[in-house]
Amino acid sequence: MPEPALGSEEMVLAFLAEAVDDYVSGEVISGKLGLSRAAVWKHVRALRSRGYRIEAAPARGYRLAEVPDRLGALELRPLLNTHDLGQVLHCREDLPSTNDLAKELAEQGAAHGEVVVAERQTAGRGRRGRSWSSPAGKNLYLSVVLRPDLPPQRAAELTLVASLAVCDACRQAGVDAAIKWPNDVLVGGRKVAGILTELAAEPDEVHWVVVGIGVNLNASRDDFPDELRETASSLALERGQPVPRALFTAALLSLLEQWLDRHAEEGFAAVRQAWRERSATLGREVRVEAGGAEVGGVAEDLDETGALLVRGEGGLVRVVAGDVRLLRTR
């Protein structure tokens, strides 16, 4: 069911969010929204009582200094500046997996861009049958339903598109993120985000694609299971301060939409070039475990289909799926 339009309080919040760290004058807000100055002030007070920290400075106006650390529709909707992604939001406290609900919704006819978010997953899933650590209230667990106009053979490109958006969102949050093929986002060699793409298609038509994104935002070392403590990290650990989760989520959806639009308009070539520029893999000596076999060599390039080209002793190998281990820089 489509959600109602933003109310005045959410519109005031949307204005403040759009200004990011700048002040917006009460006069501008009241003029643009057709509200009295007293009504703007009333909404600011109501927002403060909901946990938003809004600074007020004489002659400058209002500034959004902090948003409540919740990923509900009330927090997310005013921050979104997308045309499709997240226009319908399904926010839950607890889910086995956001991908599972998104797949169910897609089967029932969910529209392109519907988003599922959960505060916690009890059976979060990773690639290749692994589980995804999903503690409550710390990170981002999000799945987007897409209905792309693509032949099924090209659907895997969307995972690489999503990895660009996740990498860029992490960089905007102030960390030096890069992508390990195909779509792990690393900071300082440790994994901070992963993407699980699932789809339903017929030989010549994609029905839906669900792109599931997990980003470790505010997890502490103790939040990770023992076996991940050395190889995984969170943005908060890497940048030394917590990440406002709702702002990060809105920025990620906006970047994802921009990359999806670019992919639809310009094709895979633009994505391929951007992926190369953000790659933590190319030029590195790697070992790839693919379908029980191991390929070793130097990761030379991403080909025009998204496969990884590895130059080993026996020549050039084209890897379409697998787990990459980074060995050393050449």
Q: Which residues bind ligand BTN (CB under 6 A)?
A: 97-99, 121, 124-127, 130, 132, 141-143, 184, 194-196, 212-214
**Cβ 288 to ligand BTN shortest distance, Å:** 15
Shortest Cβ 274–ligand BTN spacing (Å): 20
Least distance (Å) between residue 92 CB and ligand BTN: 12
**Cβ closest to ligand BTN, residue 10 vs residue 257:** 257
Q: Which is nearer to ligand BTN, 78 or 124 (CB)?
A: 124
Residue 22: CB atoms within 10 A of its CB come to 11
The long-range contacts involving 201-208, CB below 8 angstroms and separated by at least 24 positions, are 201/152, 201/155, 202/152, 203/152, 204/151, 204/152, 205/151, 205/152, 206/147, 206/148, 206/150, 206/151, 206/152, 206/155, 207/106, 207/147, 208/103, 208/106, 208/107, 208/110, 208/145, 208/146, 208/147
Give whichever of 143 and 249 is closer to ligand BTN, judged by the CB atom.
143
Considering the complex, state which of residue 54 and residue 211 has its C-beta at the smaller distance from ligand BTN: 211
Indicate the residue among 8 and 159 with the shorter CB distance to ligand BTN: 159
**Residue 172 C-beta: closest distance to ligand BTN, Å:** 20
CA distance linking residue 6 with residue 298, whole number of Å = 52
First to last CA, the chain: 54
Shortest separation between residue 324's beta carbon and ligand BTN, angstroms? 12
- In the complex, the smallest distance separating the C-beta of residue 96 from ligand BTN, rounded to whole angstroms, is 8
Q: Closest Cα to residue 142, out of 90, 105, 67?
A: 90
CA distance 39 to 259: 38
Nearer Cβ to ligand BTN, position 135 or 244?
A: 135
Sheet with 184-187, side-by-side order of all strands: 89-95, 115-121, 140-146, 205-215, 190-202, 184-187, 177-180
DSSP single-letter state for residue 209: E
Residue (64 or 185) nearer to ligand BTN, CB: 185
Position with the least CB separation from ligand BTN: 194
How far is Cα 135 from Cα 245, in angstroms, rounded to an integer?
A: 14
Residue whose structure tokens are 């004489």: 58
CB of 140 to ligand BTN, least distance (A): 8
